[in-house]
Amino acid sequence: DAKTTQPTSMDCAEGRAANLPCNHSTISGNEYVYWYRQIHSQGPQYIIHGLKNNETNEMASLIITEDRKSSTLILPHATLRDTAVYYCIVRVDSNYQLIWGAGTKLIIKP
Amino acid sequence: DGGITQSPKYLFRKEGQNVTLSCEQNLNHDAMYWYRQDPGQGLRLIYYSQIVNDFQKGDIAEGYSVSREKKESFPLTVTSAQKNPTAFYLCASSILTPSNQPQHFGDGTRLSIL
């Protein structure tokens, strides 16, 4: 079973910040949180990952709560091309396996 | 450009037939993975390999086989024993050290039954 919980779908207006929440209340101390997105009929694209500190790269920011039980992916200025399914994943460290849930379908509206 | 190449993009299988999906990477990654994705669902791990000539079963290995004769190649065979093979198949690779590095994916092969 997936170790994360995400809303099924979200909308965001073009140009605004998209904030995607994820709950991972059973996360262990050494497990990282990864975010990927998948545009229809393509392979997943890696976005960002983190352990306990907030992270930022050219695509997004990742905010992890102090207790590590939840996180938020922030796309600062959403465009129509950001419409995709976004997956929040906690990795099982013993065998590098990623446990995937059904993700959040993010729709960016003009 | 470095990346992961999966072929073919679309594949059709007849009843009782084995088919092989190709996955090649030029990223010099040690680890490679095969996932299956059904409509509206997340990915499920079929097999993974961390080193040449060695591989481990994932959650849904039944009806599938793999080989890892070269570092850059990890082909997946869908055998006739897999009774519901219609799905989107994704190959990924990653470095092993440091262990937190992300997996990177190819663009997938869509397999259908004739």
Is A45 in Cβ contact with B44 (below 8 Å)?
no
Question: Residue B90 in contact with residue A44, Cβ under 8 Å?
Answer: yes
What residues contact B13, with CB distance under 8 A and at least 6 apart?
Answer: B19, B78, B85, B111, B112, B113, B114
What residues contact B97, with CB distance under 8 A and at least 6 apart?
Answer: none
Mean pLDDT of A13-34: 92
Per CB-CB distance under 8 Å, the chain A contacts of B23 are none
Which site among B49, B59, B99, B100 would you substitute to test the A interface, given the most A Cβ atoms closer than 10 Å to its Cβ?
Answer: B100
The token pair that represents A102 in the structure block: 């059904």
pLDDT per position as a tens digit, A43-87: 999 999 999 989 999 999 999 999 999 999 999 999 999 999 999
Which site among A30, A96, A104 would you substitute to test the B interface, given the most B Cβ atoms closer than 10 Å to its Cβ?
Answer: A96
Is B102 in Cβ contact with A97 (below 8 Å)?
no
Comparing CB atoms, the residue among B31, B105, B107 nearest residue A96 is B31
Is the pLDDT score of A36 beyond 70? yes
Residue B108 region, left (φ>0) first, then alpha (ψ -120 to 50), else beta?
Answer: left
Q: Identify any residues that bridge with A100 across adjacent strands, giving them in sequence order.
A: none
Question: Residue A33 in contact with residue A21, Cβ under 8 Å?
Answer: no
Which pLDDT score is estimated for A92? Answer: 66
Q: Say how far apart CA B74 and CA B89 lie, in whole Å.
A: 13
Question: How confident is residue A95, by pLDDT bands cut at 50, 70 and 90?
Answer: low
Q: For B103, phi and psi rounded to 5 degrees?
A: -85, 145
